[in-house]
Amino acid sequence: MLSALDKQMLEKVADLHEIPQGAFNIRKNGQGVQRNTTANIDIIPKEDKSGIDIIVKPYTKGESVHIPVIVTEENINDVVYNTFEIGEYSDVLVVAGCGIHNSGSHKSQHDGIHNFFVRKGAKLKYVEKHYGQGEGNGDRVLNPKTILDVEEGAVVELELIQIRGINQTKRDTEIRLRDNAKLIVTERLLTNKEQTAESNITVELLGADSSAQIISRSVAQDNSKQEFYFDLVGRNKGRGHIQCDAIIMHNAQVLSTPRISAHHSEAQLVHEAAIGRIESEQLIKLMSLGFSETEAEEIILNGFLK
């Protein structure tokens, strides 16, 4: 049975108010606790290591897979290896959030390694939300690694979200695009207190007429530190664009390193990066409407991270 805390965490990381319809796998404190499959989507536990295989049949349309992870104890060090087979011409949503509630003094950590094989003509939307809470002083650590091989004509949309609560994270994302494949990545990140976050995104345009758009928006508060490394590689005719915007506050630090490299004369690659503070004019305007400075800041940050 899921407790009230479990349900609260599932709502935070996977927008689940109840057990979802369709395929799902719920993992808690290093163990699978509930699982369901459908006629078109199978979930099979791995035999050689911790994790699952998610198999979506070709031409599956309009179905979803929820594979949230929740950690509600201290001194947990959980590692999973999940493999996704997204069948030809399917159109599915995968939600893979992780939440840590740590009320103790020892670190709790979850590392998830996700390998996706997105087959010809498929459409995949992948949402990954990370969240942390708990009154203890034990660290909450999340280290996701996502690897995608995107075949001809497939379309992939990634939403990578982490808003407060995680003391330390290292996020690695590697994507390879074949002919006419399309990628959209949206990253949203907020750190505060003494938190640190590192994000590494590498995209290779391997196929002709492949395209990639990467949009990263972050807010760094207090004494937190963020590091971003973007690597966009054009190995064929294609288009790629990186946009990295950050708001820096208090004594925080933000390092952003976008890199583009072309190995083909018809690779068109662009990068933009901007780091700045909240404009005082925006604060003044909202405060003139009756909001406090703190409320005005929160409104601006919420709008920026949408």
Domain boundaries, the chain: 4-278
Task: Give pLDDT tens digits for 38-48.
Answer: 999 999 999 99
Task: Give pLDDT tens digits for 92-105.
Answer: 999 999 999 999 99
This prediction has a pTM of 0.94
Query: Residues 191, 163: contact at Cβ < 8 Å?
Result: no
Q: What count of residues does the chain have? A: 306
Task: State the Cα angle at 122 between 121 and 124, rounded to 5°.
Answer: 145
Residue 71 tokens read as 């950690």
pLDDT reading at 1 higher than 90: no
Mean per-residue pLDDT over the chain, rounded: 95
Give the CA diameter of the chain: 61
Residue 229 tokens read as 């490394």
What confidence category does residue 79 fall into, taking pLDDT thresholds of 50, 70 and 90? very high
CA dihedral sign of residues 26, 216, 190, 291: negative
